Amino acid sequence: MSAELKTISIGMLGCGVVGSQVARLLQSDEQELSERSGALLVLKKIGARSNAAREGINPSMITTDLNSIVNDPEINIVIEVMGGIEPARTLILEAIKNKKSVITANKALLATHGHELFNAADAAKVDLYYEAAVAGAIPIIRSMRESLAGDQITRVMGIVNGTTNYILTKMHEEGRAFNDVLKEAQSLGYAEADPTADIEGHDAAAKAALLASLAFHSTVTIDEVYCEGITGISIDDVNAAKAMGSVIKLLAIAELTVKDEISVRVHPVMLPNSHPLASVRNAFNAVYVESEAAGQLMFYGRGAGGAPTASAILGDLVAVTRHRAYSTVGYGESDYADLDIAPVGDVKSQFFVRLHVADKSGVLAAIAQVFASENISIQTVRQAGLGSDAELVVVTHAATESSLKGCIKKLTDMDIVSKVESVIRVEGLVA
């Protein structure tokens, strides 16, 4: 390695599963990473909640004084892997103010305060990179930020939460109940002790906000993402999907509407088995991008875990280090389009509706009339006798969310309907 290489000092905020992995890889692969970066990379300081020893990490690097990292004049790049909104937001802003480039994996922070952080980075002429914030090691951010910068993205649809995909995979393949698989996911480390952020869709919603912002050059926050989780998905729903040649997935969807608005949402979807995302199993992630020139693109890989996330962070580190070494700055975020968010009621989808009705003549005609009253066309209907009740499974043609909501309200008010069991959106034609 050339003795003339510039030294780039790195500080890190956080030393949990991801942070520890980043630190170990930085130290073990220092020479190779330095050669790729065009500068000598030196991990100088790690901020953590305690000074407790971490395997493979020099204890002298660890400090509980996080401000000492963002204010250290010798540190050039700060890696933030501590998570949460505060104090991460304040620390990153302080680092940027001190002309330090920042690499973060903090999806929740960016989905809430990204506009403020990116503006601060632009004003300070430093980098703010975040590949690890969405889908782990999958290079989706850089691909959309750079490779597809000359194209017009029209839709992004992804499985971006490994916990929910693992649960839905096991329910589909093994016929097991939601709660049973959730306990297994927790025992395997795929789900937290409090799994709310995953199973209620909040984690995926933060990622959806980031993908929508990037794809459509507009500021989208997590509060603007319509969100439904998977806690209402039953084995009966899974079996109904199977019967229709489909599988249920929790999807993050961001797309342009005909009114040039952004529809961004997270919810369960029935996907036909022929769709590329339908085959994504267990804790893997995948993002499916549709654009005018490139067409359909699929990005697939491990979406979480220490090593995959560390890989994405180190990829950002090499890119940012090259900029520091040659006194340049990479691509900033652009919100020039400033598109509005489409009201969720105006968004069109196909719907799967499963309901229990009285088992007598004339019921099917009455149910069909309710759908027609809300201008909803029925694509298929299947009926199964259940003694005094019958189960109807209806799949509609595309209809607005508001029309479907009105239809469900009318159905629940009918004496012949004992219960509307489930309503799930459908992607693509289902026979």
CA distance 2 to 39: 9
What sign does the dihedral 145-150-152-156 (CA atoms) show?
negative
Residues 193, 184: Cα–Cα separation, whole Å: 11
Are 268 and 228 a contacting pair, CB within 8 Å?
yes
Residue type, 160: V
Q: Are strands 77-80 and 6-13 parallel, antiparallel or unpaired?
A: parallel
CA–CA separation, 81 and 46 (whole Å): 11
Name the residue among 298, 332, 338 with its Cα closest to residue 130. 332
| CA nearest to 382, candidates 355, 417, 403 | 355
Catalytic residue among 207, 259, 410, 419: 207
Q: Report CA-CA distances (Å) from 330 to 5, 79, 188, 212, 232.
A: 20, 16, 39, 20, 43
Q: How far apart are CA 241 and CA 113, in angstroms?
A: 38
Count CB neighbours of 23 within 10 A. 25
CA angle 142, 147, 150 (to 5 degrees): 125
Which regions of 323-362 does DSSP assign to beta strands (E)? Answer: 348-358
Is position 207 annotated as part of the catalytic site? yes
End-to-end CA distance of the chain: 62
Per the CB < 8 A criterion, the answer to whether 321 and 242 are in contact is no
**CB-CB contact of 16 with 81 (8 Å):** yes
The answer to whether 353 and 394 are in contact (CB under 8 A) is yes
> Catalytic residues, which ones?
207
